[in-house]
Amino acid sequence: MSELQALIDDLRAEAERDRSTEETPEIGIVMGSDSDLDVMAGSEDGRPGAYDALTELGFEEVTDYDDPPEARFTFETYVVSAHRTPELMYAYAETAEARGLDVIIAGAGGKSADLPNMTASLAYPLPVVGVPVQEKSLPSVVGMPTGAPIVAVDAGKSFNAALSAVQMLSREHDELRDRLVEYHDDLQEGVADVSRRLHESGTEQFRADRE
């Protein structure tokens, strides 16, 4: 059996299992290629990504369905190519709800960034947040016809996609709402701290301190 078929079979088998919602990931992250990982997960040299947002909010990543992490809220990550592995895309999206997912974050690059759109169509009515990995991917990701909805963020901003996904979940989970409020409060305090330091040290000294 090929690795592709084994992965498809694993997804369909997981969909048939009877698991409680506490044992299944709430959020799925899919990307068209592992070259999209720095955008979708975040990198040390670039802007933060969805992985960074979710772990900062207390989520843990599921890497083994039979040995899930202890955290109450979790996510999973896969590479799924709409063009190279359409069967895997179908299996992932069609089984998403049965496998316990509540929302999917889907990112793809290039001019034919079809993974978010196709995932949204196949996983409907599960909400999908699309991430254009590159600027040129934006028209493809947001260009869904009436009646085929997708939520989308700006190019490269998978961090915001993750925040949006957690916002959706927070309507049913007060704990997540509290985490989001705390995160936003910390952002505000950070801006206030920078503002005070800039004002009190002056522009030249502030610039020097940042170097």
Is 33 known to sit in a ligand binding site?
yes
Is 36 known to sit in a ligand binding site?
yes
Same domain? 180 vs 200: yes
Same domain? 101 vs 37: yes
Amino acid at 157: K
Contact 154, 129 (CB under 8 A): no
Same domain? 204 vs 124: no
Per-residue model confidence as pLDDT tens digits over 34-74: 999 999 999 877 889 999 999 999 999 999 999 999 999 99
The pLDDT assigned to 33 comes to 95
Same domain? 64 vs 106: yes
The pLDDT assigned to 11 comes to 97
Helices 86-95 and 115-123, packing angle to 10 deg: 40
Mean model confidence pLDDT for the chain = 95
Cis preceding-peptide flag for 25 (omega within 30 of 0) = no
Share of the chain above pLDDT 70, in %: 100
Per-residue model confidence as pLDDT tens digits over 128-181: 999 999 999 999 999 899 999 999 999 999 999 999 999 999 999 999 999 999
- Find tokens 């009436």 and name the residue: 146
CATH number of the domain where residue 143 is located: 3.40.50.1970
Is 72 known to sit in a ligand binding site?
no
Instruction: Work out how many domains the chain is built from and give that number.
Output: 2
| Dihedral sign for Cα atoms in the order 119, 123, 125, 129 | negative
Same domain? 22 vs 56: yes
Per the structure, the complete domain to which residue 88 belongs is given by 3-172
Distance CA 169, CA 171 (A): 5
DSSP H or E stretch at residue 142: helix 138-142
The pLDDT assigned to 46 comes to 80
